[in-house]
Amino acid sequence: MNSTAAKVGAYLVGLAVVFVAALGVGSAVGPVGPRADGNESPAPADVGHDGMDMDRDTGS
């Protein structure tokens, strides 16, 4: 087996192990931050992403 191929293969296996470990830790910890406690209310339905009130804009 070529030395370069062995190194690339070992790197890919190591990368997969790290990815699976991070996925496992993320699943065990669960969501964190402001969304985790549920205290933050969503934006009103009539307000666009830019904060403009889409129902009451006159366009002037």
In this predicted structure, the answer to whether residue 9 has a pLDDT above a threshold of 70 is yes
pTM: 0.50
Distance between CA atoms of 17 and 47, rounded to whole angstroms?
44
Per residue in 15-50, pLDDT (tens digit) is: 999 999 999 999 998 887 666 555 656 655 655 566
The DSSP letter of residue 29 is H
User: What number is the average pLDDT over the span 2-20?
Assistant: 95
State whether the Cα torsion 15-18-22-24 is positive or negative.
Answer: positive
Banded model confidence at residue 6, pLDDT cuts 50, 70, 90 = very high
Distance between CA atoms of 42 and 23, rounded to whole angstroms?
28
